[in-house]
């Protein structure tokens, strides 16, 4: 399914001259297209010229998706301190996943050792929730509106900008970068096959620093009205495509064109010799990433290769050496 770096590089070099090479790229495009949930796709995928973050000029896949159309998002915030996990989302701390239910919310002062936490009304047990779009946006911005301190932040899919699309432009073959690149400034780790962004780490320090909680649903996702629904963890919700030899399943494509696989192999074993980005090389799959555990607040560690582009303008050509918009939270 995945063309190797060497083959892909040869195909790129020969595209204009050789019908055979062009055919190779077409096959790769068809294989790429087949990975995605059709209802998430607005247009593409197609092959376009692109300029990657390190300046490399190459051929990229371009795909435009609707972020959040295909998934059943939520729930996130409990409404009372007696609400259970079935009507609440999750929270990460120190590598662990917690149910962000009523009991968790009530226990926040103890959990974080900070009596300033008071996310519910002690008289009624009702949880303070940002229950409209204005509140969601005021609480979700980096400088949280003081009125929404001690709130559970919840943004609904109905708050997503109408007509919002996200266009991903990623190299058909990864191109070496001088050094690993942090996630975040380019729209996260990559794209899952349901059209949802595999996000950067959530800014947990900033969220907790203003005594807010911004839970993820049980799929590890939540909503930013301007970015759409996005994942901060890989759980069993994402589309998984079986890989050969009981290797972990394929779950997405990174912005540097590297394939992203699940955390564990089919027999439960942990992939070995992962680099700082959580990548390693195998004979069957070439260089690829494995995702972190769902509580780690990182899907992969970094991008080890030059990244392409993510944009909400489907017509913008990809020049990843240009400045990018700030990352979502």
Residues in contact with Zn ion by CB under 5 A are 202, 271
**Rounded to the nearest whole angstrom, what is the least distance from the CB of residue 320 to Zn ion in the complex?**
22
Q: How far is the CB of 151 from Zn ion (least distance, A)?
A: 16
Using the minimum distance from each CB to Zn ion, give the nearer residue, 211 or 288: 288
Taking the complex as a whole, how short is the minimal distance between the CB of residue 230 and Zn ion, in angstroms?
6
Q: Using CA atoms, how far apart are residues 225 and 135, in angstroms rounded to an integer?
A: 12
289, 254 in Cβ contact below 8 A?
yes
**Cβ proximity of 152 and 129 under 8 Å:** yes
DSSP E strands: which ranges in the chain?
Answer: 41-51, 57-65, 90-93, 96-99, 151-152, 166-171, 176-181, 190-192, 197-198, 212-213, 221-224, 228-231, 250-254, 259-261, 279-282, 286-290, 303-305, 309-311
Q: Which residue is nearest to Zn ion (CB)?
A: 271
C-beta of residue 160 within 8 angstroms of C-beta of residue 68 = yes
Query: In sequence order, which residues have a C-beta less than 8 Å from that of residue 93 and are 6 or more positions away?
Result: 111, 295
Q: Cβ of residue 188: shortest distance to Zn ion, in angstroms?
A: 9
Shortest Å distance, C-beta 28 to Zn ion? 20
Task: Give least dist CB 129 to Zn ion, A.
Answer: 17
- CB nearer to Zn ion: give 173 or 196: 196
Query: Can you give the C-alpha Rg of the chain in angstroms?
Result: 21
Helical segments of the chain, H only: 5-14, 19-34, 102-106, 108-111, 133-140, 204-209
41 versus 204: smaller Cβ distance to Zn ion: 204
Using the minimum distance from each CB to Zn ion, give the nearer residue, 225 or 271: 271
The nearer residue to Zn ion, 118 or 159, going by C-beta atoms, is 159
**For Zn ion, which is the closer residue by CB, 58 or 88?**
88
């Amino acid at each position: 399914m995945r063309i190797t770096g060497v083959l892909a590089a040869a195909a790129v070099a020969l595209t204009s001259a050789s019908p055979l090479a062009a055919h190779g790229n077409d096959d790769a495009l068809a294989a790429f297209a087949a990975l995605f949930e059709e209802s998430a796709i607005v247009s593409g995928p197609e092959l376009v010229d692109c300029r990657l973050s390190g300046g490399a000029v190459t051929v990229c896949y371009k795909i435009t998706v609707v972020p959040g159309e295909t998934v059943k998002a939520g729930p996130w915030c409990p409404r009372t301190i007696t609400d259970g996990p079935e009507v609440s989302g999750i929270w990460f701390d120190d590598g662990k996943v917690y149910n962000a239910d009523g009991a968790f919310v009530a226990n926040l002062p103890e959990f974080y050792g900070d009596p300033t936490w008071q996310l519910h009304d002690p008289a009624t047990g009702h949880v303070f929730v940002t229950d409209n779009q204005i509140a969601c946006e005021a609480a979700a911005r980096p400088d949280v509106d003081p009125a929404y301190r001690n709130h559970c932040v919840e943004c609904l899919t109905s708050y997503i900008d109408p007509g919002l699309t996200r266009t991903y432009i990623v190299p058909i073959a990864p191109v070496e970068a001088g050094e690993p690149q942090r996630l975040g400034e380019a729209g996260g780790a990559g794209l899952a096959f349901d059209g949802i962004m595999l996000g950067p780490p959530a800014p947990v320090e900033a969220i907790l620093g203003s005594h807010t909680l911004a839970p993820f649903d049980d799929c590890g996702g939540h909503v930013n009205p301007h970015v759409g629904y996005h994942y901060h963890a890989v759980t069993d919700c994402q589309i998984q495509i079986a890989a050969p030899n009981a290797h972990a399943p394929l779950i997405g494509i990174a912005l540097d064109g590297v394939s992203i696989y699940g955390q564990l192999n089919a027999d439960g074993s942990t992939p070995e010799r992962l680099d700082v980005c959580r990548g390693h090389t195998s004979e069957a799959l070439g260089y690829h990433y494995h995702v972190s555990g769902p509580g780690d607040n990182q899907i992969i560690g970094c991008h080890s290769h030059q990244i392409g582009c993510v944009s909400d303008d489907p017509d913008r050509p990809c020049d990843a050496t240009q400045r990018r918009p700030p990352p979502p939270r």
